[in-house]
Amino acid sequence: MLKWNNASVKIRTTILLKNIDFEIRKGDILGISGSNGSGKTVMAKAIAGLLPVSGDITGADVFAKKAFVPFHASLTLSNGQAVYRQQRWNKIDTELLPVVKNELAKCENPELAFKLVKKFGLNMLTDSFVINLSNGEQRKLELVKALAGEPDLLVLDNAYTGLDTTSRNLLTQMLENLNGSGLTLVLTGLTAADFPPSVKNFMVLKNGQSKGIFSKPESESNTEIPEFSGQTLPYWQNSSFQELVFLNGVSLEYGTRKILDNICWQVNTGERWSLTGPNGSGKTSLLNLIFGDNPKAYGCNIRLFGRQKGTGESIWDIKARIGFVSPEMHQYLPQKQSVIDVICTGFQDAESSFKKPTGYQVDVARQWLKLTGYSEIAGKLFGELSTSAQRVVLFLRTLVKNPPLLILDEPFQGLDASHVRMLKNLLNLIAEKSGCSMIFVTHIPEELPECVTKHLKLRNGMVV
């Protein structure tokens, strides 16, 4: 049995966990819950041996092999070069990109890895580049790689986040089988939906301390939810465009794999759309044709902001009129820049910028932080914030240039109920005070703001 008594975790001079009593036996399955910023990920990393723990620790050698699967899948290349977000569509760089089957071959037990790939339904993707996998597919690949190392303790940080219903059910089945085989499991999450049914014991954290062990997860938040009633938007100006997006018979293929099939869709000023469908249905591919990252858009019948795609506009003309946010962008933002500087990169339409923000841009960024109650983090480094605070910063970065179109690809992923409600209220305020159009992607219907009244659903690349 691994046991901590009055343990703490400190990074540099900051105490992240304190007065923690914890124990786990071989074959146990434990959930760790709590609101955003409570210390769940820190606790998970400490259990997995990735962070130093001080205190009275016994049984540290009980689990010889530990594996940690993080919330954010890493897209760093095996040769040490970091990818950039648009690299998946630039085929001149493909010799640098890892392929799924090669990643599996590097596992400690490649034979087991390929068996697990079959079970997870990834066998059709073994020749794909890792960077081309959907969010759900990447999550499954990370889990397969961890299991192929045959650990005796597996720690999963927010394993269910970003997965559709089918993928969640498959993951639940796999975890139940793993626990039945005697593997020790630790999972973090916010609600009961983030854990398999076999989890009966939950350590609940609050402000870096344990509230005890309970029979159900708890994510109580201290955050007061702003209603924004009577508030005005910082420096928002409406555009003169009537038609923002027009797609006529748009299809997209990679080799023999059809990603999109005959998509027809129009988004006008003031319309707020949901875009839904299972993992791998083509949602992200469709969004990136609109956002301008995928050069295959030039071969499609697409009209953006009243102008036919490929008639002389630059990618920056398109990006200047779109506010885009997705969980994937999180990993490309500069960790060592201040919050203000990161928010101001939204004016540059790039994930990072070497340009010093102007006084006007800094003022706008501060206005958005004040509106959402986050003024105190303005001078902090982005990388030192909690995941939830980073998500809010990423969201505000999308709004600073008051674009006529917001593309919100799972913007609430990993946020607790209070943060979701706050950002939904903010989107409703934007809808009330402006003609801004929105395309909102989510697997969770409850996340949709009330201002979203139109819906497009995809399955297997087709509109259903």
**Edge-to-edge, what's the strand order for the sheet holding 54-58?**
14-24, 2-11, 54-58
What integer pLDDT is reported at residue 15 of this predicted model? 87
The answer to whether residue 76 scores a pLDDT higher than 50 is no
Judge if 200 and 315 occupy the same domain: no
Q: Give the phi and the psi of residue 377 in degrees, each rounded to 5.
A: -95, 0
Task: Please tell me which residue, 131 or 394, carries the higher pLDDT value.
Answer: 394
Higher pLDDT, 74 or 445: 445
Q: Is residue 375 part of a domain?
A: yes
pLDDT at 222 over 90: no
In a domain, 285, yes or no: yes
Q: From CA 227, how far away is CA 221, in angstroms rounded?
A: 16
Answer yes or no: do 207 and 355 share one domain: no
The mean pLDDT of 444-460, rounded to a whole number, is 95
Residues 409, 274 within the same domain: yes
Q: Are residues 15 and 137 in the same domain?
A: yes
Tell me how many helices (H) and strands (E) the chain has. 11, 19
Place of tokens 């890792």: 130
354 domain-assigned: yes
Please indicate, yes or no, whether residues 364 and 456 belong to a single structural domain of this protein: yes
| 364 and 447 part of one domain | yes
Cα dihedral 227, 230, 231, 235 sign: positive
Q: 100 with 11, same domain?
A: yes
Count of C-beta atoms within a 10 Å radius of residue 110: 13
Q: Is 202 exposed, middle or buried (0-12, 13-18, 19+ CB in 10 A)?
A: buried
List, in order, residues 6 or more apart from 400 with CB less than 8 Å away.
343, 344, 346, 347, 361, 364, 365, 368
In a domain, 387, yes or no: yes
Distance separating alpha carbons of residues 229 and 99, to the nearest angstrom: 50
Region 77-100: what's the mean pLDDT? 52
The identity of residue 176, as a single letter, is E
- Cα 315 from Cα 313, distance rounded (Å): 7
Question: Which range is least confidently modeled, 23-32, 284-293, 375-384?
Answer: 284-293
Judgement on whether residues 210 and 274 belong to the same structural domain of the protein: no
Residue 103 Cα to chain centre, angstroms = 22
Residue 420 structural domain: 270-299+309-463
Q: Rounded to whole angstroms, how far apart are CA atoms 147 and 313? A: 47
pLDDT tens digits along 260-283:
999 999 999 999 999 999 877 889
Kindly state whether residue 232 falls inside one of the protein's structural domains: no
264 inside domain: no
* 48, pLDDT greater than 60: yes
Residue 185: per-residue pLDDT: 94
CATH number for the domain that contains residue 385: 3.40.50.300
Q: What is the DSSP string of 418-444?
A: HHHHHHHHHHHHHHHHS--EEEEE-S-
Clarify whether residues 207 and 285 are in a common domain.
Answer: no
Task: Tell me the two tokens of residue 172.
Answer: 């639940």
Residues 45 and 123 placed together within one structural domain of the fold: yes
- Residue 334 covered by a domain: yes
Let me know whether 36 and 157 are in one domain: yes
Question: Is residue 87 predicted with pLDDT exceeding 50?
Answer: no
Which pLDDT tens digit goes with each residue over 411-439? 998 888 889 999 999 999 999 999 999 99
The sheet that has 405-409: what strands, in order across it?
322-325, 405-409, 437-441, 272-276, 454-459, 462-463
* Confidence at 78, pLDDT banded by 50, 70, 90: very low
Identify the pLDDT of residue 25: 92
Q: Is 228 within the bounds of a domain? A: no
Q: How many domains would you assign to the chain?
A: 2
Do 288 and 180 lie in a common domain? no
Q: pLDDT tens digit string along 157-185?
A: 988 887 778 878 878 888 888 777 788 99
